[in-house]
Chains A and B, each alone.
Chain A
Amino acid sequence: MSRAVREVVLTGVGLHSTLGDVDDAWEALAAGRSALAMTVPSGVRDFPEVPGAPAANASPAQLIENRKLVKYMSPTTAMATVAAGRALAHAGLVADERRSGLGLFVAVGYAAFDLADVRGAIETARGADGGLDLERMGREGLRACHPLMPFKSLLNMPLGIISIAYGIRGPNFVLYPGAREGASCLEAAVRAVRHGRCDGALVGGSSNGFSLLPISMLLRLGRLARSVEEAVPYRAGHRGIAPADAACFLVIEAREHAERREARILACLGDTGALERAPDLLLSVGTVDEAADRAELEAARTSWGEPVPTVASLDGRLGHHGAAALFTAAACVSKLFDRNAARLPGWSDGFPSSVLVRAGEPDGGHGSLTLFSPGGAP
């Protein structure tokens, strides 16, 4: 393995989302469809309808040989396993020997703690006053929990299970909980490949965002849109996000490694910092309101002056993918670079050669990544 600083390229993408995998989601977007609807999270009554994009259950059993793993999976892990498998297949990394040296870098969203797993414990441990009786909890409640609850709750399980399912043994990292941390995760993965700690890496995020407690948290913080329309960034009246369930993974490799195995290069990856020259497109994720939209535009203006590059977001149609958001955006950029892929209505008909994907957080933190078209030079 070379220790020189190397160029890093994107060779595989995999998505599990409300609109399906990458190809399905892109076709749906091109056809003008949206993943968003007003709905209620499962397992709750007397709760307001909120805008969001719940995804169908992921079915990892079709992708993995060790099907016993499925029982340990939370929805976050199941989605991650599916998206990771799709990305590996898309990159042509189907043989175990090609995967074992990969790095694995995963971003996970807020734990979508499944109250159903502790339902028995809660019912058993309820005291006479309706509250929690710890004495009963210890004596009887633990036995009434779902026996695999601890595995399904641990935030590192997506990483562990993906490594087991696909035989990945390289350097690793699992970050939490939002789009900015997804950017940090990607930065760590790119650096690992660039500096020769691994020849390639599977990197992605998974967020079971459309579930009760995360949604309740967003409601409490005033960051949840009240309608589908309010959730559209860069539109007048943008106020709040629409959470989605999604997982998206990328396969990144050192260019020499990808070329040696004749992999199709979907994009070249630049630095995670600001570009000296304005990109053709700034694709932002996670802006929460009009003020955040303006801040993104101002940041672009400060970085590159006028004219500000075209700024767009897919959050208003895909929903906010949380820890997976930056990866979903990068996967979509690979379609923008693909001259055979459908064009999005309302977007420029041209083919961008450089796209800055930028994930902002309500506290002002942000992370970014630049992608160049396969022929472009970072």
Chain B
Amino acid sequence: MNRVAVTGIGVVSPIGSGVEAFFDGLTRGASGIDVIGSFDASSFPTRIAGEVRDVDLASVELPWPEAEAVRRDRKSAFGVVAAREAVRTAFGSRGPTGWYGPHRVAVIAAAGLEVFDLADLVPHLSQGVVNGASLLESLFSGPALARCQIPSDLGARCIAREGGAAGLYAVNVSACAAGTQALGEAFLAIREGAADCAVAGGYDSMVNPLGVGGFCMLEALSTANELRGAASRPFDRRRDGFVLGEGAAFCVLENLDMARARGASIRAEILGYGSTLDAFRVTDPAESHEGAMAAMRGALEVAGLEARDIDYVNAHGTGTRKNDPAEVAAIRCVFGAEADRVPVSSTKSQIGHLIGAAGAVEFLAGLFALERDLLPATINLEEPDPECDLVHVARTPRPAKVRAFMSNSFGFGGQNAVIVAGRPRDEGEEVPQ
């Protein structure tokens, strides 16, 4: 089995876009949650979200026929921006195919739901029936793919094209677990020899009327609008649901031996990955926590680590009433007595829930801990729920030496994905500071 290195990273997030800005936001314990500005949500039960405010989509260079569609689909544009940073930091101007054959370069991306723009659809719908003639007239009067239903794979296609990648190609849509799954599957592909290099990560934005409205219907979102930046409160007694966020993160993963041979800086080594299904209910986490536990145990087993080797857990930590205690119980079962030692935090307290991109962005929060010896915080955790009894990194970041970390993602529908990464195990290995 091949070892897998992380050699490049890129991110777009509500607390800062670009790795330095994102890491700065984590260091400051910043909140990216505020009143929704991208559409008029004033009459919606939830009016806050973690929006990306420092990326001007109009100025992002998109030299492709589908540029307008990418620009209208914020998540795809975020994905392109984040992947570019990851590729640039890993390879400079040569790109992945400057070092690897195109068929050995994979693109494995997580993406959110397609954009259905209700404003595009409303004029064509009357009494439940679509006027086909006016719909087609509208579609043909605008750029292809930019109206009504924008495919979610646009970003991944552009990333593959720009990187010259012709190897494994996958767009994963497993919702809240997707980002971690994309990284995990890329890890497996390199580990098992199906690729030498992968651009892997996730992009998502559901901060639109149908996205926010849909989650409002499920009563999954926080309605603590007045709290703004303090509304996302994983593990806190006063939590009342999650806050949506948007953004993207990508990593360049390489066969570690090959990365070393080309003189690449190794930021981290991915050590293990586990993926399971609850097979329980559509809406609730399994009462037995078996699926989440099996994913964590599976990742540790692949990594050849035990609970005592993990120095930080980046929790899924959504801030909903049911999910947080379920995750805590699963962590306690897997970590046993070590649960009273290992610090845990949820980055969703700062950026909200990025759904398809969540796992990828939160993996970078784990890398932050690894590289900076500073644990990102659950910023709004003022009064931990007794049902969420863990060693929390509450309110502000905390210094700690991290050898390896675990990042959890648990999806709606029962998908569990867990990834473990750490400092490269070889003696004398330098990790960039």
Contacts and interface: CB of A to CB of B under 8 A. Distances in A.
Contact of A180 (B144, B169, B181): B169
B188 A154 contact: no
A262 to B, nearest CB: 26
B286 to A, nearest CB: 10
Interface in B200-253: 209-210, 213-218
B133 A46 contact: yes
A156 B174 CA distance: 5
A158 B169 CA distance: 21
A351 interface: no
Given A136-B43, A155-B173, A175-B172, A147 B279 contact: no
A139 B209 CA distance: 12
Interface in A165-205: 166-177, 180-181, 184-185, 187-188, 191-192, 195, 197
B217 A137 contact: no
Given A43-B128, A108-B173, A154 B44 contact: no
A173 B130 contact: no
A47 B133 contact: yes
Contacts of B276: 169-172
A161 interface: yes
B116 interface: yes
B278 to A, nearest CB: 7
Given A126-B122, A181-B169, A100 B279 contact: yes
A116 B128 CA distance: 6
A8 to B, nearest CB: 13
A176 B214 contact: no
B209 A161 contact: no
Interface in A111-143: 111, 113, 115-116, 118-119, 121-123, 125-126, 130-132, 134-139, 141-142
Given A168-B279, A169-B276, A221 B43 contact: no
Given A168-B277, A169-B294, A172-B277, A113 B149 contact: yes
B213 A135 contact: no
A138 B44 contact: yes
Contacts of A110: 114, 149, 151
Given A217-B145, A219-B136, A221-B145, A145 B213 contact: yes
Interface stretch (B93-101, B362-370, B407-415, B424-432): B407-415
A150 interface: yes
B324 interface: no
A113 B214 CA distance: 13
Contacts of A139: 43
B188 A191 contact: yes
A110 B149 CA distance: 9
A236 interface: no
Contact of A47 (B40, B132, B194): B132
Contacts of A149: 214, 217
Contacts of A135: 40, 42-43
A130 B192 CA distance: 55
Nearest to B355: A154
Interface in B135-167: 135-136, 139-140, 144-145, 148-149, 151-153, 157, 160-161, 166
Contact of B174 (A116, A174, A192): A174
A46 B174 contact: no
Interface string A46-66: 111000000000000000000
22 contacts: A45-B129, A69-B282, A111-B116, A134-B41, A135-B40, A137-B213, A138-B42, A138-B213, A139-B43, A142-B44, A151-B282, A156-B178, A159-B413, A159-B415, A164-B278, A171-B276, A172-B415, A177-B151, A181-B153, A191-B192, A214-B149, A219-B139
Top 5 nearest A-B pairs (CB, nearest first) are A160-B413, A47-B132, A138-B43, A138-B44, A150-B214
Given A46-B131, A150-B214, A159-B174, 11 more contacts: A113-B149, A122-B122, A125-B122, A132-B118, A134-B43, A142-B45, A145-B217, A154-B412, A172-B174, A175-B172, A213-B148
Interface of B: 39-45, 111, 113-114, 116, 118-119, 121-123, 125, 127-136, 139-140, 144-145, 148-149, 151-153, 157, 160-161, 166, 168-175, 178, 181, 185, 188-189, 192, 194, 209-210, 213-218, 275-282, 290-291, 294, 411-415
